Amino acid sequence: MQELILGGARSGKSSYAEQRAQASGLHVIYIATATAQDKEMAERITRHRQQRPDHWQLIEEPLDLVTVLQTYAAPDACLLVDCLTLWLSNLLAQDNLGELEQQQAGLLHLLPDLPGDIILVSNETGLGIIPMGELTRRFVDEAGRLHQRLAAQCDRVTLMIAGLPQQLKP
């Protein structure tokens, strides 16, 4: 089963995804895409680590999500990816259009064939004003297109609002 969980900042999407992973009864592998580039982000990462069960396996990979998914997906595993928007930001920061397109295409191609449960967490960024800068607009556009494609493929899609899950699919 593949699930996409979307929501704004502090919407409760990560907590909900963790609850869904725990409820799966499978071995949970948490795939973190964040990098600690400053003190505030390092503190966020530390808080997230402390909130997760100790027995969950942790893989930290900011760029090559496709390889990690291929490596760790298994019938008895639940892979929780948190989050796709940080992964997308990391790829955009590389300023390598080919790599960005290759990673996104690889994810979309690979996802239907992965064994086990896959939970993807991402920020819904397209609900606000249109950003002023070119890079920010590109990020919002890339995220929106990726979310549309993933939502079409995933078995389940949930939008988190104020900590409340809104089931979009099925």
Positions marked active-site: 48
The residues facing 121 across adjacent strands are 5, 82
Distance between CA 170 and CA 163 in Å, rounded?
A: 20
What DSSP string describes 51-112?
A: HS-TTSEEEE-SS-HHHHHHHH--TTEEEEEE-HHHHHHHHHHTT-HHHHHHHHHHHHHHGG
Q: Are 68 and 61 in contact (CB under 8 A)?
A: yes
